[in-house]
Amino acid sequence: MSLDADRPRCMFLNCKSMQVYGEDFQNDPEFQAGMVEFWCTQTFRNLGPDGGDVAFEACRDEKRTCYREF
């Protein structure tokens, strides 16, 4: 998974890697292997308040109505 460090993500995006590694989450071996499940801290599900999927790339889309920059 390629990360663009200059592109912000939604502040409501969360995953286990983020909780364990904090802002160094991309160094979690599970994250690197694409084995991470994301959830939204507004809904606590894999769907955001706008009904869209919760994923690393999807939650970097500033056009989503629920997006709040981290």
Centroid of chain to Cα 45: 12
Instruction: Give the pLDDT score at 4.
Output: 61
List b or e across 6-44, with b for residues whose CB sees 16 or more CB atoms inside 10 angstroms.
eeebbebbbbbbbeeeeeebeebeebeeeebebbbebee
Quick check: 62 pLDDT over 60? yes
Q: Residue 42: its pLDDT value, please?
A: 98
pLDDT (tens digit, 9 = 90+) per residue, 1-56? 455 656 899 999 999 999 999 999 989 998 888 889 999 999 999 999 999 999 99
Residue-level pLDDT at 68: 98
Please tell me the pTM assigned to this model.
0.85
According to the model, what pLDDT value does residue 7 have?
Answer: 82
